[in-house]
Amino acid sequence: MTLAVEPYNDLGAFGHDPWWLVVAKAVAIFAFLLLTALVAVLAERKVVARMQMRIGPNRVGLFGSLQSVADGVKMALKEDIVPSGVDKPIYILAPIISATPAITAFAVIPFGPEVSVFGHRTPMQLTDLTVAVLFILAAASVGVYGIVLAGWSSGSTYPLLGGLRSTAQVISYEIAMALSFAAVFLDAGTMSTSGIVAAQEGLWYVFLLLPSFLIYITSMVGETNRAPFDLPEAEGELVGGFHTEYSSLKFAMFMLAEYVNMVTVSALATTLFLGGWHAPFPINLWEGANSGWWPLLWFTAKVWGFLFFFVWLRGTLPRLRYDQFMKLGWQILIPVSLLWVMVVATVRALRNEGYEVGTIALVIAGAVIGLLIIGLFANLVRSRRHPVPVDDLPPPEQFDPMAGGFPVPPLPGQKMPAFQRTPVGAGAQTRTSPTSKESSDAQDS
């Protein structure tokens, strides 16, 4: 069995809509993101409560259905406190920089095929580009600057540490994410989102390119700062991380950016690996499953499947240590991504030369590498620091804890200097009772 995919570069359906239809599409996408974020907040609280055998929100609205609306109104009416030591222009712009790119990236996500809207045939997608996936990756990269600048402009230690962790997170995981995209580009022969969906009409890439799918879903969790990779906002270590000094609507913007980012990366995963708006089996056996407005339902269901995956991870896994987090990115995901890209590129080159390379062989190779990724990740999570024998330790290094002007704890391998209590009477002379002159002065006063 050989699945030959021709490059898809037909973007002729885009760029012909009237202005009112373009505006309607943009407003519909914005409304879809806002409503999905509101429902996702409530669903997360309900699902996590169910996992922890609690009730969850149940006061506002029917079964707590209006809790997200109440939280939004509460944050809008709260006092907006701006600390005195912040860099005010950047402090104000950071939440906007964090939220805007996530919404912008949704412009190239396909919701479905062409439909008729008031007599106009138009694709269920705002626009498409020949490099649409790279556009999404660039928008996601810009969004992280909001977190970095928020931590830097707050003028506080813990937000700064959260911003620095976010920088390391971006460097570590966007490389692996881009490499997982490369395998999709090689097999589909295009970078446009509509072309990638069309290339999966026969077989979804979650089966054909399983390692790329596993690498992407790991990277997307790290990209959105969600548990177990929520190191930039680790409450137990950094109070609230990069948004510690934010309140009111600015904090709401960061919260909105997190959930919109979750929707965006979930929609991208659906587009790249789950066939986009194509109906799943056995619904696709129905002749009209992939026509009309039905594909919008399949697309939304797949996106919500990934959103549940985010919530499931948060309610199940503890936060990784920082060393585990960096090892996962640099020692597992990136090397395995390079290996898999070489395999896919070799298969693509052989097909271009006319050799019959079966799809089953690529699926088997992907399954083997996918099991390797899962095994390495499980071994990393289970790893514990083994105690080093005392005989192998180097001699402790003396250091001055007050050398920088304020006390700091010792690092591994350093030794606190011996504390010596100053005996009474050493230095200045001590007196146990006032003199007669001092007593008379005190009585006079």
As beta bridge partners, residue 116 has 121
Mean pLDDT by 10 residues, the chain (445 residues): 47 84 94 94 93 90 90 88 87 90 91 89 91 89 85 85 81 86 91 92 89 92 84 76 86 90 94 93 87 93 95 87 83 90 87 77 85 83 59 63 72 71 57 47 49
Tell me the pLDDT tens digit for each residue of 224-237: 888 788 887 777 77
Domain ranges of the chain: 22-280+295-382
pLDDT tens readout for residues 149-163: 888 888 888 888 888
Q: What is the pLDDT of residue 109?
A: 94
pLDDT digits (tens, 9 = 90+) for 89-140: 999 999 998 888 889 999 999 999 999 888 888 999 999 999 999 999 888 8
Lookup result for tokens 């052989």: 350
Contact 187, 244 (CB under 8 A): no
